[in-house]
Amino acid sequence: MIIVFKPTVDGVLLACGSLADHPGSTLMVAKDGRQLKEKLRFSGIEDQIVRVGFDPSTNTSRLLKNVFTNTWTRISPLDPGPLKYIDLVLRHGDADPEDLVRLLWSCNGDVNAMYSKKTRISLRYYNYMREVTRSWQRLCMFSRPSFTNGLLFAEVDSPHEISDIFCRWLARKNPDVPVAVVTDGTAWIGNGEFVGLEHFTTISAAFVENLQGSADDEGIDELWDVYYDSQMIEKRRNRGLAKKMQPLGSSTLSKMARRDRYKVERGISSCTLDGFI
């Protein structure tokens, strides 16, 4: 038997439930009906097929209870709940949803086994979850949107699918302005009601780019440099720690972060207020 599932949280949980009913089945992932047809034609498989996760959402929490019999205990304050865990893993550029289903199935109903890092595969997927979280958090930390014509605008280039969650975060942080986060020709819009759209939606990036004019935040970069430099305690310079905290990767996220990273590497010029105080 072949279990075909959609790479969503529902799809993964339903596939896991089907695998429990039909152990030994082959797993196959497909984004939609068309991809499914193509995959089947290509593989030439003619086994019985079970399709799961393609219908509109069922009760996801109930699906989780079908797969895991015990309750989740938070081990680390950094750990998200199991549904969020699955969601984050599915966003990872290297994650294989079929492997993920097998991992959940191998937990034998113990939800905490997903977090235990006891086996190599659970460690790998736990790390995937953490990597996606870290990429998203780095965007939140080091991305510096522009504020143009009353629109907060950011571009995201990441191997993981995190633009939508970053857009939601930015929109929550700035509830009084519309927010656009652009990736690969698509713009995620938050607080869309300010520009006549739904609260959270996607539109073509070209539409947002039309709104671009001269930024309202000119001069901020220079002011930031003054502020950043003012916080330095020369006697406590700690290059190793600073490089770890302001990683090289942060430089790719914004010009401001690139300059901060440069100062972490090279130090701030000796013209500071330390002489004065």
Partner 1 sequence: MSVSVEKLTNGHHRTLSERMQFLSSGTKYDSCNQSAVCHAFGPDGRCIQLYKTLLTNYCAGECAYCPNRCERDVPRVSLTPEEITKITWSFYRKNAIEGLFLSSGIIGDAEITSQKQLEVVQLLRQQGFTGYIHVRMMPGTPKYILEQIADLANKFGVNAETTSSINYSEICPNFDYKNDVLQRLKWTRDLIREKRREYRGTGHIVGANDTQFVVGAVDEPDRDIIRTVNKFMDKYALRRPYFMSFDPIPDTPLENGSPSPKWREQRLYQASFLLKDYGLMHKDLEDVYNDSGNLMNTDPKLELANMHPERFPVDINSASMDELLLVPGIGPVSANRIIHSRPIGSEEELARMGAVVSRASPFIDLNGVRQTNLASFTGGYS
Which residue in 78, 72, 68, 62 sits closest to 10, CA to CA?
A: 62
Q: Taking CB under 8 A as the rule, does residue 246 contact partner 1? A: yes
Min dist. Cβ of residue 128 to partner 1 (A): 15
Q: Taking CB under 8 A as the rule, does residue 189 contact partner 1? A: no
Min dist. Cβ of residue 29 to partner 1 (A): 28
Query: CA-CA distances (angstroms) from residue 275 to 38, 39, 223, 269, 271?
Result: 71, 70, 21, 12, 8
Q: Taking CB under 8 A as the rule, does residue 137 contact partner 1? A: yes
Q: Evaluate whether 249 touches 257 at the Cβ level (below 8 Å).
A: no
How many other C-beta atoms can be found within 10 angstroms of the C-beta atom of residue 8?
Answer: 18
Rounded CA separation 67/109 (Å): 6
Q: Which two tokens stand for residue 50?
A: 């079970």
Q: What is the DSSP string of 211-246?
A: H--S-TTTTHHHHHHHHHHHT--GGG--HHHHHHHS
**Could you tell me which stretch among 34-42, 52-60, 70-78, 201-209 binds partner 1 (CB under 8 A)?**
70-78
Q: Taking CB under 8 A as the rule, does residue 90 contact partner 1? A: no
Binding-site member from 46, 71, 214, 227 for partner 1 (CB under 8 A): 227
Binding-site member from 128, 142, 167, 181 for partner 1 (CB under 8 A): 142
Enumerate binding residues for partner 1 (CB under 8 A): 73, 75-78, 112-113, 115-118, 123, 137, 140-145, 147, 152, 170, 173-177, 217, 220, 222-224, 226-233, 235-242, 244-246, 256-257, 260, 263-264, 267-268, 272-273, 276-277
